[in-house]
């Protein structure tokens, strides 16, 4: 089962990255956003990301034009009606995801695979918003999606095994490394990663170490980014949601979000995407690090 046309709902940091990965992989892609302004931001995210690759000499202008030409942009869910796979990448709120899936249930063909890029919510719960929970799988990309190799593919107890296999195959064809796992808050990678990121925020909050020293400790060890810089890249709102979900599910104190993280999110300091998080940034953008 190859996928001919793939839809992406939500073109924020993750959705735009996923749409870029698909279009780079030669897949006809449909990107859907809630309104014209969000759609233009999403288009801008993909243009900027591929534009950076052109500037770095990694992509020719012709290849960039071909990639962009493979993406159709729309504010109408009906544009997804002939997609054989749709990947939802809207913010991590269960009410929002349920709304999107109820809509996809109405517009998509009966054989379409419906996937969620959720970081930490229950795929089973999201699937319950549809009349076809056996068509729902999780496909969890990492930020920045065009660079990160790992993609977690999640099958629920109801997911059709051939749908899980087909999505795993697509991920492999896109040059990524799929890992197939069950439906558990934080899956594998976030459960491990946030066991490290959460305490980094608490360490800063305790005043025992400054942010630059916390980050330098880990980059000097050899990690590509310090934990606070990485949280700013992921988005502090997403970090808070992931920690809350893992904390709820595991009950482990180490996953309890730091009060500092909560207050930054409440102030609207969400990391790179808003220009301020643990650090401040001159350039506001969707996870752009270059
Ligand atoms: N979009 C597209 N490409 C990007 C990019 C972006 N946002 N950011 C960087 N790149 C590309 C660059 O163009 C460059 O490509 P090239 O080698 O072909 O020229 C390459 O990545 C390296 O970029 P730089 O040289 O500018 O910067 P670094 O070497 O510092 O790498 C990084 C940047 C790849 C982001 C690296 O710092 C890194 O790996 N950081 C850790 C990221 C990570 O752990 N992500 C997982 C987060 S958890 C998550 O997403 C789960 C979610 O559920 C919360």
Nearest CA-CA partner of 239 in 281, 184, 210, 202:
202
Residue 3 Rama label (left phi>0; alpha psi -120 to 50; beta): beta
- Residue 217: pLDDT above 50? yes
**pLDDT for position 287:** 44
Q: How far apart are CA 62 and CA 96, in angstroms?
A: 37
Domain spans in the chain, listed from the N-terminal domain onward: 5-181, 189-274
**pLDDT for position 283:** 73
What is the Å distance from ligand 1's center to 142 Cα?
A: 10
**Two tokens at 174?**
């896109």
282 φ/ψ angles, rounded to the nearest 5 degrees: -75, -40
Q: How far apart are CA 182 and CA 132, in angstroms?
A: 19
Per-residue CA distances from 283 to 11, 41, 188, 231, 288 (Å): 19, 15, 32, 17, 9
Per-residue CA distances from 55 to 50, 63, 145 (Å): 9, 13, 19
Question: Which ipTM score applies to this complex?
Answer: 0.95
Say which residues have a Cβ less than 8 Å from residue 267's Cβ, sequence separation at least 6.
Answer: none
Overall fold of domain 5-181: Rossmann fold (3.40.50)
- Residue 50: pLDDT above 80? yes
Residue predicted with more confidence, 285 or 3? 3
238 lines ligand 1 (CB under 6 A): yes
The mean of the pLDDT values for the chain is 95
Query: C-alpha dihedral over 72, 77, 83, 85, to 10 degrees?
Result: 110
What is the Å distance from ligand 1's center to 273 Cα?
A: 15
Residue predicted with more confidence, 91 or 228? 228
Atom of ligand 1 nearest to the CA of 120: 53
- pTM score: 0.94
**Two tokens at 120?**
């930490």
- Residue 282: pLDDT above 90? no
Q: What's domain 189-274's architecture?
A: Orthogonal Bundle (1.10)
59 lines ligand 1 (CB under 6 A): no
Query: C-alpha dihedral over 98, 91, 93, 272, to 10 degrees?
Result: 180
Measuring from atom 32 of ligand 1, which residue has the nearest CA? 224
150 lines ligand 1 (CB under 6 A): no
Binning pLDDT at 50, 70 and 90, where does residue 233 land? very high
What is the Å distance from ligand 1's center to 231 Cα?
A: 13
144 lines ligand 1 (CB under 6 A): yes
**pLDDT for position 290:** 31
Atom of ligand 1 nearest to the CA of 242: 54
Q: Model confidence over 87-114: pLDDT tens digits?
A: 999 998 899 999 999 999 999 999 999 9
């Amino acid at each position: 089962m190859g996928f001919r046309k793939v839809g992406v709902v939500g073109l924020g940091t993750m959705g735009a990255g996923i749409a870029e990965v698909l279009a780079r992989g030669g897949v006809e892609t449909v990107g859907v956003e809630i309104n014209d302004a969000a759609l233009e931001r999403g288009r801008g995210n993909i243009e900027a990301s591929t534009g950076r690759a052109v500037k770095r000499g990694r992509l020719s202008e012709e290849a960039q034009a071909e990639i962009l030409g493979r993406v159709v942009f729309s504010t109408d869910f009906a544009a997804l009606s002939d997609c054989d796979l749709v990947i939802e990448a809207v913010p991590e709120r269960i009410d929002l995801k349920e709304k999107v899936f109820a809509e996809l249930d109405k517009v998509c063909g009966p054989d379409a695979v419906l996937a969620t890029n959720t970081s930490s919510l229950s795929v089973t719960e999201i699937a319950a918003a549809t009349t076809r929970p056996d068509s729902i799988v999780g496909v969890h990309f990492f930020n920045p999606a065009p660079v990160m190799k790992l993609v977690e593919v999640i099958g629920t107890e109801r997911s059709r095994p051939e749908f899980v296999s087909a999505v795993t195959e697509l991920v492999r064809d896109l040059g990524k490394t799929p890992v197939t796992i069950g439906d558990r808050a934080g899956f594998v990678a976030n459960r491990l990663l946030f066991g490290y990121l959460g305490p980094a925020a608490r360490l800063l909050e305790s005043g025992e170490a400054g942010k630059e020293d916390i980050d330098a400790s880990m980059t000097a060890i050899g990690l590509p980014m310090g934990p606070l810089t990485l949280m700013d890249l992921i988005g502090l709102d997403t970090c808070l949601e992931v920690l809350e979900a893992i904390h709820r599910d595991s009950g482990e104190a180490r996953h309890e979000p730091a009060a500092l993280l909560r207050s930054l999110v409440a102030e609207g300091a969400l990391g790179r995407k808003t220009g301020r998080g643990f650090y401040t940034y001159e350039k506001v953008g969707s996870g752009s690090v270059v």
